[in-house]
Structure 1
Amino acid sequence: MRFSTLALGSIAFLAASPAIAQDETAPPKPITVTGGVTLVTDYRFRGATQTNEGPAVQGTVNVNHASGLYAGTFLSSIDGGADGSTPALTNYGGVEVDLYGGFTKTLPSGLGFDVGLLYYWYADGAKSVNTDFFEPYASVNYTLGPANVKVGANYAWGGQSGLDFTTGKDDSLYIYGELGVGIPSTPVTLKGHLGRSDGSLGLLNPGADDSYTDWSITAEAVGGPFKAGVSYVDTDISNGAVPGIGHFAQRLGRGSTVLGYIGFSF
C-alpha cells in the first residue's frame, strides 16, 4: 500500500554509492544523479499487493551529495480504482509518487546508517479521499565481507488525514530486519526480510487487529546496469472469511506469492 522496503533499500544503496569517475585521477563529483526503471510482476508493499496482483512499472531518480545528503522520488503504477479491486487503495488512483530526502553514511568500520523523511502522494486519487501522509524512517546496517545486516523502522504520526482510518489512534509503526549475502564468484545475492506493521497501516487483519507480520526471500542477479530477481512474499494476515469481504489474506493481502522483476539503473 505504500513505499516498498525493496525500493527503499535500493535508494539507500544508490544514495550511498559514489559516482564513477571519468578516469582514475578525476576527483569525485560533489553532486551525482542516479536512478532506474523496474518492471515487477506484482507490486507488494509490506506483503500486500498494490496492483491487484498485476504488474507495475516503477522508477527512481535520486540526487546525491558527497556529504551523504540525498533527495529524490519513487514512482509506481498502482491499481487504486473506484471498483475496489485493490481494497486498501480504493479511489487512490493509478499512480503512487513518493518524495523523500535524508542523510546516509557508511563508516570505515563497515557500519552505516540512513535517516530521512518520506511523503506519500497519490497524484490522481479521488478528491473526496484523503490519501497523503509523511513517514520518517531510520536504519542502521553493517557489512562484513559478502554479508550485510540491516535493521530499521518507519513511523508515521497520527493526526495526518491520510491515516485517518478509525476513530482511535492513527499512528503507524513498521519495524524490520534484513540480511543479504552475496554468493562468491557469482552475480547473485540472497536476501531475507522480516517486518512487522502496527497501527493504522496494519489494519489488514480481521477483528480490528491493527498488526501483522510480513516476510520475503529474494534471489537477485546484477550485471552492469541490469538486475533481475525473484521473490517469495508472504504474511500472517488471517485468511478467515468475513461476510461481505471474503477471505482476508486473499481479498486484502492476496496471500503468499512468487514475483519477479527486471530493472535498469543509471
Structure 2
Amino acid sequence: MKYAFLLPAAMLALAAVPAAAQEEAPPKPVTVSGSVGLVSDYRFRGVSQSDENLAVQGGFTIAHESGVYIGTWGSNLAGWGTFGGANMELDLIAGFKTPIGDGGTLDIGATWYMYPGGFDNTDFIEPYAKLSGTAGPVSLTAGVAYAPKQEALGAWYANGTSAANGVYDRPGAKGDNLYVWGDAAAGIPGTGLTAKAHIGASSGNKGLGPFATSVAPTGAYADWLLGVDYTIPSTPLTVGVAYVDTNISDREAAYLQPSFSRGQDGTGSIAGAKVVFALTAAF
C-alpha cells in the first residue's frame, strides 16, 4: 500500500512493453519492502510511548509468493515506564497472507514485542488476524489481536506510586489482552491527499506491569485517529498529520500517576488528545 502512488505509472509502463519482454521478467518469488520515518510522538493504541517527544522508526518485511512473510520494526522509547531499562522497542513479526472472496485479503500472524537492553518479563507475544478489502474507493481493514497470559501483561503494581517507587505489589502476576480495531483510507480526488481513520478497543491487563509497562493501563479503553497523508510525487516520501485520542479520563488515569504522565511528574496524561506529524520514506 505504501507504493500505491506508483501503481498507475507501473501499469502504463507494462502496457508499453512487448509481451515477450514481460514474459522474461516474471514476478519475483521473494520481495522486500519497508520504510523509515520520523514522528512527532510515538502513539501505540492512543498512548504515547516516547513521552510525547520525537521518535525515529523503521522496519522491513520479506514476503514470499506463497503468502508467508517475516519482518521487523523498531522505534525509540521514553517516558511511560522504563521497559526494564530499554530505550528501544523492537518487534519481530511473522505471518501468512492469502486472498479470499472478491478482492479481500486474510492476514494471520503474530508480533513479538521486545525491549532490547531490558528484562525478559517486559517482552510479550501477540497473535493477530486481519481482514482487508475495498468498498468503492475506500480501503478497509478489520483486525483482532489477542495476547495470552504473560508476565508483561500482569498488574504488578497496585498504583502508579508503587511503580514510581519500584515496589512490586503483585510480582509475577500474569494477564492477557484483547484488541480489536478497524481502519479506513480513501483518496481525496484532485488533491493528492489520502484521508485515513482508525478506531480500536482494548480490554485486558488493568494496571502497570513490570517496570511500569502496560498494554491496556486502565483495563478497558478506546482509541481513535483521524488524519491525512500526502505522498510527494516522484519520491518515496509521505508526509502526514493525524489527530489521536483515547477515552481514558484524567480520573481513570489518576491511579497510574506519576508513571503515566509526561516526564513522569504526575501531572497530565500521556493518553490525552494530540496532533501527530510524520515523515516517512518507503522502499
Whether the TM-score (by the shorter chain) exceeds 0.5 is: yes
Partner of 1:182: 187
Matches of 2:177 and 2:203 in 1, distance apart? 6
CA RMSD across the alignment:
2.8
Partner of 1:218: 227
**How do 1:58-69 residues align onto structure 2 when only pairs under 5 Å count?**
58-69=57-68
Give the secondary structure class of the aligned counterpart of 2:122: coil
Q: Residue 161 in 1 paired to residue 151 in 2?
A: yes
Matches of 2:128 and 2:256 in 1, distance apart? 36
Matches of 1:248 and 1:265 in 2, distance apart? 33
Matches of 2:101 and 2:190 in 1, distance apart? 24
Matches of 1:261 and 1:76 in 2, distance apart? 13
Residue 89 of structure 1: how far off its partner (Å):
4.2
Matches of 2:122 and 2:259 in 1, distance apart? 25
Higher radius of gyration, 1 or 2:
2
**Structure 1 or 2: more strand by fraction:** 1
Matches of 1:152 and 1:89 in 2, distance apart? 29
Give the secondary structure class of the aligned counterpart of 2:121: coil
- Equivalent pairs counted in the alignment come to 239
Q: Which runs of 5+ in 1 are unaligned?
A: 1-8, 80-85
Using the size of structure 2 for normalisation, the TM-score is 0.76
* Superimposed CA distance per residue, residues 9-37 of structure 1 (whole angstroms, 9 cap, x where no aligned partner): 97xx99xx9xx799751110000111110
| Counterparts in 2 of 1:117 and 1:202: CA distance versus 1, 3 Å | closer
Matches of 1:123 and 1:96 in 2, distance apart? 7
- Match for 2:245 among 234, 244, 253? 234
- Match for 1:199 among 192, 204, 222? 204
Q: Which runs of 5+ in 2 are unaligned?
A: 157-169, 206-213, 262-266
Percent pairwise identity: 37
Residue 61 of structure 1: how far off its partner (Å):
1.1
Partner of 1:83: none
| Counterparts in 2 of 1:30 and 1:259: CA distance versus 1, 3 Å | same
Using the size of structure 1 for normalisation, the TM-score is 0.80
Comparing 33-42 with 163-172, which one deviates more in the overlay?
Answer: 163-172
- Which amino acid in structure 2 is aligned with residue 141 of structure 1? S
* Superimposed CA distance per residue, residues 93-152 of structure 1 (whole angstroms, 9 cap, x where no aligned partner): 111000001111344722112110110110012x4x721011001011221332112111
**How do 1:91-102 residues align onto structure 2 when only pairs under 5 Å count?**
91-102=84-95
Partner of 1:119: 112
Q: Residue 133 in 1 paired to residue 124 in 2?
A: yes
| Counterparts in 2 of 1:50 and 1:130: CA distance versus 1, 3 Å | same
Partner of 2:164: none
- Match for 1:245 among 248, 251, 257? 257
Contact 2:245 2:271 in 1 (8 A): no
Higher relative contact order (CA 8 A, sep 6+): 2
Matches of 1:263 and 1:137 in 2, distance apart? 25
